Structure 1
Amino acid sequence: MVTKPVALWGFMGSGKTSVGKALAQKLGYEFVDTDELVAQRFGKPIPQIFAEEGEAAFRRMETQVLSELIQRQRIVLATGGGMPTVPENLAMLRLNALNFYLRVPVEVLYERLATAQDRPLLQGFSDRYFRIASLLAQRERFYTQAQFILSCGRKPPEQIAEQIFAWVRALDDGDDAVTVDLGARSYPVVIGDNLLERLERIFAAVPLSEPFAIIADESVAEPLGEKVQERLQRLGKAHLVTVPSGEGSKSVEQAIRLWQWLADLALPRNGTIVAVGGGVVGDLAGFVAATYMRGVAFVQIPTTLLAMVDSAIGGKTAIDLPQAKNLVGAFHQPRLVLCDLTTLATMPDRPFLAGLAEVVKYGVIADPALFTYLDEQAEWIVRRHPIALRVIIARSASVKASVVVADEREETGLRMVLNYGHTFGHALEAATGFSLLHGEAVAIGMTAEAYLAWRLGLCDREVLERQTEVLRKLELPTHLSQVPDAPPVALDTLMAAMGRDKKRRGTTLRFALPKRLGEVTITDAPVPETLLTEAWEFVFCQ
């Protein structure tokens, strides 16, 4: 159970105080309204503080109050509407509290605030609706950094408090979460230790309905699949089936087998499919969930690092055909992604390290702070320290979630940024008969593409050099000779494999290439074949 501060975020009028009081009563925790405490410190009401001292003075006192409260336990905080928009406050809250954004539509906020006289940031505006909408839009990017986003609308405070209470009861202080913010289809990615030991409470918090159909990779069915089944049987009926390990299970035959299994169980539309394993099982179970009875709820419980930071998030599900991978699929978002760090303890070194390539990718394309953390904490990451793993998985999930929200169904091209390292990487996988792990191919692919970006004048060589250094610290390959038992491959074979890349437009290959750490650009103009050859030679000969 969470004992660190539980903080409620949201716009003025979103109900933080009424929800907070109801929640504190249910938990038996202390309740503090930070606005009230700031007013007490000044000895005057907030409108008077703004009028006489100014907003800057109010914000300074707000930060001081938060720095004191954040150190306490068993406390519910109703934060001021602008508190999370201050970087220092945002950092304190994200690091030290379990945070819930109470999202309320503009029209409801306007109903509650239309005649309010105690809101200094709304005074003096002739069009109060527009003022609320514009101020909320400015703050939304801060509010959505809370671990959980709750769509509150006109729900009574007690109902919202009950929902938060379920999560506080289900989680521990060391857990973290990221919400993939897709409106009514939003879902949390929960990261922590020993989550499977609390599985029934977490499922109840979502909430998810029984009966549960658990599809597990046979390599983790004992004990992980069986543990999931045992915990979920506390909520109702839970059935377990296994699928063989390996890409071969992403097949029409396995999908048919699973559809028939679900039909034999008479799984209803309100039942829940649970995937336990790596990316193969997640893709397969997700596709089965998307198509059985035209779509049922499903949960991802990834047990590999690669699946935790990449394939389990985003709703892309698929099976393979003999002609190519992932040709038959659907976009079907999970209801929950559960990353139990203890499942990584028994992963063999090679696939664990390979999974780190996708984490490096996120640092290069969108998160320089994550890249720096990988550089500085590489030793602890390689040794699988739980705190280090929680940090990199949460930061990776945050980047992936932001891209998915911006381009869920790959319609705008924004999701293309996730392809960094993959145009070369996919070609390398195919040309070597998939003898490389995906992460190994991506690491080499990122090296080739960073080299290409430098040669095209898109970035300084320092980007390539820093990336190479971090990949090596994380024991990832930067050229083919570093991969155990990698077969020889001809350049023309690689070039032919690149020509079949799914992201191309006509015959033009498209790349997501770095401009600097944290920013990439998409190339639409043809890249000279001589530079592509040079980039391949770089990762073969360096």
Structure 2
Amino acid sequence: MEGSPTEGRTVEVGGPHPYTVHVGAGLLSQIRVKERQVALMHAEDLPGEYVKEVEAGLQPVVTVRVPARDACKTLDVYANVLSHLAQVNLPRDGAVIGLGGGAVTDLAGFVAASYLRGVAFYTLPTTLLGMVDAAVGGKTGVNLPEGKNLVGAFWPPQAVWCDTDTLASLPPAVFREGAAEAFKHGLIVDPTLLTRVLDPEFRPGGALLESTLADAIAVKAAVVTRDLTEQGERAFLNFGHTLAHALEGVTHQGIAHGEAVGYGMHYAAILSCQMGGADLTGHTRKFLNWQQPTPLPALKFDEVTAYMNRDKKADSDGVRFVLLRDVAQPYLTRVPDDVLRRSFGEWLGQIQTR
């Protein structure tokens, strides 16, 4: 199989378009694909040695640099990349490869899904957030001024390579940002992750890095295998994301996604308790104390709820929230406005005094 590494762990994603996620050290130099012509897309701030390592093995017909983080997830950047691929005449049997964080792989996947009505797609995530979340599951897309990920397509990759060596180049705050999605997987499915993610050995080069990362990825892999297009349980992966996306919107992307998810999980834990579930706020407060997210600006409920109402889990009857009856017992429900407002006030008071 092309791209099979010599060491590390693998996670299988099933469904109509199965693929393998490879997790281990030194994988960038081992990547090979069956397509002869590939376009390599990466963020402009990605360390140059990663780009050169991948280029040496794949010899892309074009390497496309895009803005870093969510600045690349716009319709303008998307259109420019498509034009670039057309200019170099990337063929239908070619491939698009996304190298970098989750924003770049989201964009690369959407480009692959729509260029020539669909070409092969591979992801090479270089951040913890990208490895645990964005690279797995086939969700691709870009943002609109009105909200996150409102334009996109389901387009599963052919394979994913998570080279854990790339995590050593991340600032500690960026690594902790990405840990939010792994901690979320502990809350909704695998309780062992709640302690393993916060263990000092879950770090670049740490003894728990590879196994914890692979197990966190396995949670998402199992869910998307059963529900690729979010007709049911895949929505549970959005625990904490309704407020998180609203915080990103109201701050104009002034807060990183993983930090917004950390805040959002705590709000969802408060809502869960208010709606009759177990009190899990001890877990989410502990995570926030460990993550140390960027302080938020002054927030007003009505301003934030305007963004929450555009959440992609909303339907014609309004927004729905992923809540927890207890650890590993998620459900999807509507929450009365008075509970949302009261819980927002409680959440705001707690994060301001954290």
Tell me if TM exceeds 0.5. yes
For the Cα contact (< 8 Å) 1:452–1:535, is it kept in 2? Answer: no
Distance 1:280 1:532, change over 3 A: same
* 1:275 alignment counterpart: 98
Cα distance, 1:387 vs. partner?
3.6
**Separation in 1, partners of 2:140, 2:237:** 16
Q: In structure 1, the residue corresponding to 2:319 is in which secondary structure?
A: coil
Structure 1 counterpart of 2:26: 194
Q: Give, in whole Å, the separation in 2 of the partners of 1:466 and 1:539.
A: 14
Q: How far apart are the structure 1 equivalents of 2:207 and 2:62?
A: 33
Equivalent residues of 1:216, 1:242 under 8 A apart? yes
Change in Cα spacing, 1:250 to 1:495, as seen in structure 2 (3 Å) is closer
Kindly indicate whether residue 226 of structure 2 is the aligned counterpart of residue 406 of structure 1.
Answer: yes
Whose Rg is larger?
1
Structure 1 residue 214 corresponds to structure 2 residue 40: yes
What does residue 315 of structure 1 align with?
A: 138
CA contact (8 A) 1:449 1:535 kept: no
Judging changes above 3 Å, is the alpha-carbon distance between structure 1 residues 280 and 323 closer, same or farther for their aligned structure 2 residues? same
Residue ranges of structure 2 left out of the alignment (5+ in a row): none
Alpha carbons of structure 1 residues 448 and 256: separation in structure 2 relative to 1, 3 Å:
closer
Q: Taking structure 1 as the reference length, what is the TM-score of the superposition?
A: 0.61
1:536 to 325, 341, 347: 347
1:385 aligns with 2:205: yes
Give 3-state SS (helix, strand or coil) of 2:31's partner.
helix
TM-aligned CA deviation for residue 279 of structure 1: 1.6
Residue in structure 1 matching 2:269, options 429, 450, 454: 450
1:171 aligns with 2:5: yes
> Per-residue deviation at 1:533?
3.4
* Paired residue type of 1:194: G
The one-letter amino acid paired with 1:401 is A
Whole-angstrom distance in 1 between the partners of 2:65 and 2:253? 24
Aligned-residue CA RMSD in angstroms? 2.2
Q: Does 1:182 align with 2:3?
A: no
CA distance in 1, matches of 2:175, 2:335: 36
More helix by share: 1
Partner letter of residue 531 of structure 1? R
Distance 2:240 2:319 in 1: 13
Residue 251 in 1 paired to residue 85 in 2? no
Residues 1:441 and 2:260 are matched in the alignment: yes
Tell me, yes or no, if the aligned pair for 1:181 and 1:405 is still in contact at 8 Å. Answer: yes
* Shift in Å, 1:541: 4.4
Would you identify which runs of 4 or more consecutive aligned residues in structure 1 move more than 4 Å?
A: none
The whole-number CA distance in structure 1 between the counterparts of 2:148 and 2:352 is 30
Q: Following the alignment from structure 1 to structure 2, what is the Cα–Cα distance between the partners of residues 420 and 333?
A: 22
Please report how far the alpha carbon of residue 339 of structure 1 lies from its aligned counterpart in structure 2 after TM superposition.
0.4
Q: Percent identity?
A: 37
What's the offset of the Cα at 1:258?
1.9
Q: Which amino acid aligns with 1:442?
A: V
Count of equivalent residues: 352
Instruction: Quote the Cα distance in structure 2 between the aligned partners of 1:323 and 1:389.
Output: 36
- Pair 1:419 & 2:238 matched: yes
Question: C-alpha displacement at 1:361, in angstroms?
Answer: 0.2
Retained in 1: the 8 A contact 2:150–2:312?
no
| 1:273-352 equivalence runs, <5 A | 273-352=96-175
Alignment of 1:362-511 (within 5 A): 362-375=185-198, 378-381=199-202, 383-410=203-230, 412-459=231-278, 461=279, 463-472=280-289, 475-477=290-292, 483-484=294-295, 486-506=296-316, 508-511=318-321
Structure 1 unpaired stretches of 5+: 1-162
Cα distance change, pair 453–322 in 1 and its aligned pair in 2 (3 A)? closer
Q: Is the 8 A contact 1:214 1:274 kept in 2?
A: yes
TM score, norm. by length of structure 2: 0.91
In the other structure, the counterpart of 1:67 is none
